[in-house]
């Protein structure tokens, strides 16, 4: 069984919509390179921008 990591050891990115940092999540494991926003709300806001 893999060793648990501390949250501070997980990779982080900056949200393209709000500019806040967000941390890796298990549900983004396969698609981490393509994740650009921290939430559905930010993703929708990014689509609305011209």
Task: Select from 17, 44, 40 the least CA-distant residue to 25.
Answer: 40
pTM (predicted TM-score): 0.76
Q: Is 13 helix (H, G, I), strand (E, B) or coil?
A: strand
Quick one: CA dihedral 34, 35, 40, 42, positive or negative?
Answer: negative
Tell me, what's the pLDDT at 1? 59
Tell me, what's the pLDDT at 39? 94
Q: How far apart are CA 43 and CA 17, in angstroms?
A: 7
Q: How far apart are CA 8 and CA 3, in angstroms?
A: 15
List, for residues 1-50, the tens digit of each pLDDT value. Answer: 567 778 788 899 999 999 999 999 999 999 999 999 999 999 999 998 77
Tell me, what's the pLDDT at 48? 87
């Amino acid at each position: 069984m893999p060793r648990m990591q501390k949250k501070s050891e997980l990779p982080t990115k900056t949200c393209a919509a709000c500019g806040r940092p967000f941390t890796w999540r298990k549900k983004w494991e396969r698609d981490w390179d393509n994740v650009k926003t921290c939430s559905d709300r930010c993703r929708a806001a990014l689509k609305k921008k011209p």
